[in-house]
Chain A
Amino acid sequence: MDDIYKEYEGKIPEGIIADVQSSLPDKVSKAQLKSIMQKVLEEYEKSRIEAGEAVGLISAQSVGEPGTQMTLNTFHFAGVSEFNVTVGLPRIIEILDGRQNISTPMMEIYLKEPYSKGKDIKQIAESIKQTEFRDFIKEITLEITEGKLDVKLDLEKVKRVDLSEAKLLKIFEKSVKGFTFKQNGDMITLKSKGKSENVNELYKLKEKLKSLYVSGIKGITQVLPVKREDEYVIMTAGSNLKEVFKLDYVDTVRTTTNDIHEIQAVLGIEASRQAVINEVNKVIEEQGLNIDIRHIMLIADIMSFSGKVRGITRYGVVSDKSSVLARASFETPIKHIMEAAFVGEIDKLTSVVENVMINQVIPVGTGLPELRSTIKK
């Protein structure tokens, strides 16, 4: 039996051979297996793209056309305001452009048992969320005449988080070096140590205090525990995959983010290729559209084959095109032509765009085969 499988190795992908192996009934004769494998090979060959098919352009058209039907709205999460997600065409553009800073980074944090069943879910969620000092301030007043800053704390709020009042004050005190620190109940008074009562400095301090990091994971601004089937998942606004993976109650296998560059930094290029596919597919499904996944896979391959994610822009994959004319026809033609001229680039006219420009037969489809004959002398 194995020798038959061996025979087809290299002709059929391993995955398909494994599929055949696992789905075969127990009693199969050698002859039967042979004919099955032959049939599989035929089907496999049949389903392959033919030489000369313009796959890239077909992918572009297949993604581009449904793109015109997409809605442009951002979508709001139920319940929590300021928790919105970029969807539709803007999101697709964002992914395919390979933007470094996406407009609405988000995470889906899966948890290990027993937390995934709802144990301490509220506390866990709150502890992930980045808290800033402003969350604990009731009022902050700048007394210009006396050169002091009065900070009124909201002690009620301090109690709610997994954080002691003393710890909070310690963080606070550390950050106000150079100022006298006086506490009186919930009122804290700050005064400049230096003789010069610099109002400007106090104002800067006031702004700095507001965004003083206290606890949680940096970058995560909102958390929302949701029940998905029979387990709890924490959705977040803001993303920090590296720090979240360090938490011991997090299921690192399934936890993910929508920031492709972050995935690349933490998990590598293969993961980010898959992330591109998943993210694009998510948008397409949300919009109720139907695009064959192979088109998206091709785009993801193009974006990631160099080892790092690059967008489909003139700085990204387009800059790789070997043809000067093709690059010039995309965007900023003069720049491309001048740069090519400086180094004396040669355009070999091997691709579609440049051949259309000079009105020659394009090397695609019927333009691919050539007729050759030897002339007898």
Chain B
Amino acid sequence: MAEIFLNGKFIGTVADPGKLVDSFVEERRKGKLHYSISIYHDKTLDEVQIESSRGRAIRPLIVIKEGKPMLTDRHIEQVEKGELTFFDLVKQGVIEYLDAMEEEEALVAFDENDLTPEHTHMEILPLAIVGLCTSLVPFGNFNQSTRLNAGSKNQKQSLGLYAANYLVRMDMDVNVLHTPQLPLVKTIMHDSSHYENHPSGQNVVLAILSFDGYNMEDAILLNKASIERGYARSTYFRPVVTEELRYSGGLIDEVSVPDKDVKGFKSEKDYRLLEGDGIIFPEAVIAEGDVVIGKTSPPRFLSSLDEYNLTSSARRESSMTIKHGEKGVVDFVLLTENSEGNKLIQVRLRDQRIPETGDKFTSRHGQKGVVGLIVETADMPYSASGIVPDIIFNPHGIPSRMTMSHLIEMLAGKTGALSGRYIDGTPFEAEDHNNLRKELASLGFREDGTETFYNGRTGEMFKAQIYVGDMYYLKLKHMVANKVHARARGPIQLLTRQPTEGRAKEGGLRLGEMEKDTFVSHGAALLLKERFDADRTIVPFCEQCGLVAVYDEYKKKSYCPICGDNCSVSNVELAYAFKLLLDELKSLGIYPKLKLKDKY
């Protein structure tokens, strides 16, 4: 007696579960049941699970009967002619969708050569084993699976043409690559996804070589001339958005050049780029601190009377400014209205990004790295035929990661570039790399892809043969320009008097609990104290009651608000955050008394 569950709920029992499953599948193949419903007999638990819930991943497979695929050449002909569609084949029971559970009981053949009478299904295409992004890795079947994952993940972060109408869009943090190219080594997924409409990389000449240690730990070296020719240039777009908010009492934000008497007025210089309407003009070159949209807001609190009398002067400055470390050019100004009917101002900023030390690049094989050095072309190694590579890649990245596809792509790319054709690198169905080697040899190059190289500085010949080839390289969206940050002195938080946090606020770098412990375990007590002196304060304390006393600046004298003038007050050096803790304890109703005594 097997129990039956529909979407995890018990609905009954069946004496012969095998028969139930068989007839269920049969009905589904006839099209009487929806193709997305799955059934599975768990033999160990003796349960039949029927699933029709949403969110399950299902995938199509060719149905095999008695070792023969249901899909015939006739079907393919008909589909090609347009007489049949893919879903007609599903309805005819030629192709079937399985979910993860039903797949458990299926024996899926890789291709027709693998078929045996035991098989129940066959892959439509071996490539269907992997997903869309992974299909974009050429020769991916030569790789370790984790590298494939990394490779497809990296591709998602690459710069390219993300949308053809980017000029009229207001996307947050987007990049567009200048002069993108189609890869020399393609897979069929590049064709079927129309990669030519949105390419996201460029073909480069890559040499595998160590160079002065500037490419250690996965770094790469860029040829300066390549950059000057425009390699991997991109534009970064970021919108500045604000709206005229309405407040209770009929008050409203106002976009305009703020008056001098507005609370928080910056300086004339900061507003210099604003036009009469309070908005910056297109093509204005801007840098840190410049106002993009001038705006004033009504006062925050309307309680006190004097603020009522001086309404205009009490308005607050609330302009949109360029944050710390940012620069660029105003690209586009848009004035519109949002769904609440408020005036909405969007200003798109643009910044050209030329590759620099620290920018992240990757091939399509999970071989990411940052630029370690931009090498003067004169110093770059060159081949016997005078070819200077665009990128130098470190050989140590290869053995432990075993990305064979990286090496094969170089060879294939080289052959493709020399013979003037695209190479098919579709995983499992790629062109045979042995043939590519032969072709390369017939083109007058060494068949293993290596070439004699010369030191760019001394002109000496390298003793080793250097592996060079053409490769599709991607610039990733993580650029140093968005990330570099350092601080010596800077803004502090109002509440704790400790440095602010984060790059945008020019914040400090946190020395956390565990980092503090390293100072302690080295016994560096005084250094530790100095490091935490950021919020050091001197506070007068009453020795009698142990609470904070007051220093009267006029009388040049300290007194205790509780004990009065007749008590001795001492100055105590402590962290402001601790003074704050004492205040918070007081708010809990706890009396935190400091018992003072001389240290020595």
Contacts and interface: CB of A to CB of B under 8 A. Distances in A.
Given A54-B520, A341-B590, A352-B520, A358 B578 contact: yes
A57 B517 CA distance: 7
B529 interface: yes
Nearest to B595: A346
Interface string A337-377: 11001000010000010001111111111111010100000
B574 interface: yes
Contact of B578 (A357, A362, A365): A357
Interface in A324-341: 337-338, 341
Contacts of B400: none
Contacts of A60: 517
A58 B595 contact: no
A52 interface: yes
B532 interface: yes
Nearest to A373: B600
Contacts of B517: 57, 60-61
A365 B524 contact: yes
Interface string A167-192: 00000000000000000000000000
B526 interface: yes
B532 A356 contact: yes
B578 to A, nearest CB: 5
Nearest to B578: A358
Interface class of chain B by DSSP: helix
A53 interface: yes
B539 to A, nearest CB: 11
Interface in B475-523: 516-518, 520-523
B574 A361 contact: no
Please indicate which of the listed interface residues A346, A357, A363 has the most CB atoms of chain B within 10 Å of its own CB. Answer: A357
B536 interface: yes
Interface in A10-62: 52-54, 57-58, 60-61
A289 to B, nearest CB: 19
A357 B516 CA distance: 11
Contact of A362 (B525, B533, B536): B525
B525 A366 contact: yes
Contact of A52 (B523, B536, B575, B595): B523
Given A337-B585, A346-B595, A362 B528 contact: yes
A130 B202 CA distance: 71
A363 B588 CA distance: 30
Contact of B525 (A57, A365, A372): A365
B585 to A, nearest CB: 7
A158 B204 CA distance: 79
B523 A53 contact: yes
Nearest to B525: A367
Given A54-B521, A356-B516, A360-B574, A367 B526 contact: yes
Please indicate which of the listed interface residues A57, A337, A365 has the most CB atoms of chain B within 10 Å of its own CB. Answer: A365
A147 to B, nearest CB: 26
Given A337-B588, A337-B590, A346-B595, A359 B574 contact: yes
B599 to A, nearest CB: 8
A66 B523 CA distance: 22
Contacts of A356: 516, 528, 532
B529 A359 contact: yes
A54 B523 contact: yes
A358 B535 CA distance: 10
A334 to B, nearest CB: 8
Nearest to A60: B517
Contact of B523 (A357, A358, A366, A372): A366
Contacts of B590: 337-338, 341
Contact of A368 (B525, B529, B577): B525
Contacts of A368: 525
Nearest to B523: A365
B574 A358 contact: yes
Contacts of A337: 585, 588, 590
A337 B527 CA distance: 29
B583 to A, nearest CB: 13
Please indicate which of the listed interface residues B521, B525, B532, B575 has the most CB atoms of chain A within 10 Å of its own CB. Answer: B525
A370 B525 CA distance: 12
Interface in B546-600: 573-575, 577-578, 581, 585, 588, 590-591, 595, 600
Contacts of B532: 356, 359
A356 B536 CA distance: 12
A354 to B, nearest CB: 10
Please indicate which of the listed interface residues B518, B529, B595 has the most CB atoms of chain A within 10 Å of its own CB. Answer: B529
Contacts of A358: 574-575, 578
Contacts of A363: 525
Please indicate which of the listed interface residues A337, A352, A360 has the most CB atoms of chain B within 10 Å of its own CB. Answer: A360
Nearest to A371: B600
A130 to B, nearest CB: 29
B523 A359 contact: no
Contacts of B529: 359-362, 367
Contacts of A360: 529, 573-574
Contacts of A361: 525-526, 529
Contact of A57 (B521, B526, B536, B600): B521
Nearest to B574: A358
Nearest 7 A/B pairs, CB to CB: A365-B523, A367-B525, A359-B575, A341-B590, A358-B578, A362-B525, A57-B521
25 contacts: A52-B523, A53-B523, A57-B521, A58-B521, A337-B588, A337-B590, A341-B588, A341-B590, A352-B520, A356-B516, A356-B528, A357-B575, A357-B577, A357-B581, A358-B574, A359-B529, A359-B532, A359-B573, A359-B574, A361-B526, A365-B520, A365-B523, A366-B525, A368-B525, A370-B600
Given A338-B590, A364-B520, A372-B600, 14 more contacts: A61-B521, A338-B588, A341-B588, A341-B591, A346-B595, A356-B528, A357-B578, A357-B581, A358-B578, A359-B532, A362-B525, A362-B528, A365-B522, A366-B523
